[in-house]
Amino acid sequence: MSASASAAAAPTGIAYVKSGAELEFGRIWSSILAIMSDNPPKLVLFASPGHGQGTSTLTAGVALTAAQANAHLRLGLLDANFRSPSLETLFQIPGSPGVVDAISGATDPAELGYSVGVHANLTVIPTGKISTDPLGLLRRDKMGALLTGLISRFDVLLIDTAPVNRYPDAQLLAGMSDAAVLVVDVGRTPREAVAKAKQIIQTGQGNLLGTVLNRRSHPVPTLLYGRA
């Protein structure tokens, strides 16, 4: 199924991007572009130290806000969390075909993705069929080739992935990306866990831009973007 054919199945937006949240998501997006103004990123990885930090929600919010504010940009949002994918639920799109299907050769990468309602310039790509060997997917040359092919379709591709301190996925993907952003729930994450996550990303030769402090106990996330 092509992206254009899938558009009708996608919702017009995500309910949590509202009343003030757009401003915070917009600040994160602007900060990424400002820090890398001399060399704008094409692939931006979002990851967190552990589960439940709000990474998927935040990444989706940034993608929607960026799409609305930059109608000229072709934006992609890729769910590379092969452990616990959630973008298909957030955007109410089919979970397959997706990344796994393309890597296995079952789907043409050019046909991946679902346009998201009024945000015609945003395409969401789900994980696809859940793999019993997620780490093997990332170690194959096909993952790098897939990302190279996808970036030819988009001006910027945002990637959501599994927790850094629990799985090696983010470390491997960081080395394939232009930039990485660490999402941290400051109310529940020890400093040691944050330091460990930063080290893991940097060991994977990831370009860590900074940390988003996500205070998820507030009705609307309070976010702070800072250099790592």
Check residue 198 and give its pLDDT.
95
Please indicate whether residue 147 or residue 4 has the higher confidence score (pLDDT). Answer: 147
Q: What is the pLDDT of residues 71-81, one digit of tens each?
A: 888 999 999 99
State the pTM of this model.
0.85
Check residue 202 and give its pLDDT.
93
Check residue 167 and give its pLDDT.
94
Residue 118: what are its φ and ψ, rounded to 5°? -70, -15
Give the residue extent of every domain in the chain. 3-227
Measured CA to CA, the distance from residue 76 to residue 150 in angstroms comes to 8
Check residue 221 and give its pLDDT.
43
SS3 88: helix
Highest mean pLDDT among 125-134, 163-172, 208-217: 163-172
pLDDT at 21 over 80: no
Q: Which two tokens stand for residue 38?
A: 């001399």
Check residue 123 and give its pLDDT.
95
Q: Tokens 């709000």 belong to which residue?
A: 54
DSSP state of 177: S
Pick one of 3.10.350.10, 2.40.50.140, 3.40.50.300, 3.10.20.30 as the CATH number of 3-227.
3.40.50.300
Peptide bond preceding 163: is omega within 30 degrees of 0, i.e. cis?
no
Measured CA to CA, the distance from residue 63 to residue 221 in angstroms comes to 15
Please indicate whether residue 173 or residue 11 has the higher confidence score (pLDDT). Answer: 173
Q: What is the pLDDT of residues 31-87, one digit of tens each?
A: 888 887 788 889 999 999 999 888 998 999 999 889 888 888 899 999 999 999 999
Please indicate whether residue 151 or residue 187 has the higher confidence score (pLDDT). Answer: 151
Q: Which of 13-22, 55-64, 139-148 has the lowest mean pLDDT?
A: 13-22
Q: Mean of the per-residue pLDDT values for the chain?
A: 82
pLDDT at 140 over 90: no
Check residue 20 and give its pLDDT.
56
pLDDT at 4 over 70: no
Q: Which of 98-102, 191-195, 212-216 has the lowest mean pLDDT?
A: 212-216
From 155, 5, 138, 13, select the one nearest 74 (Cα to Cα): 155
Its sign, for the CA torsion 62, 67, 73, 76, is positive
pLDDT at 224 over 70: no
From 204, 207, 208, select the one nearest 182 (Cα to Cα): 208
Cβ contact 179:41 at 8 Å: yes
Check residue 118 and give its pLDDT.
65
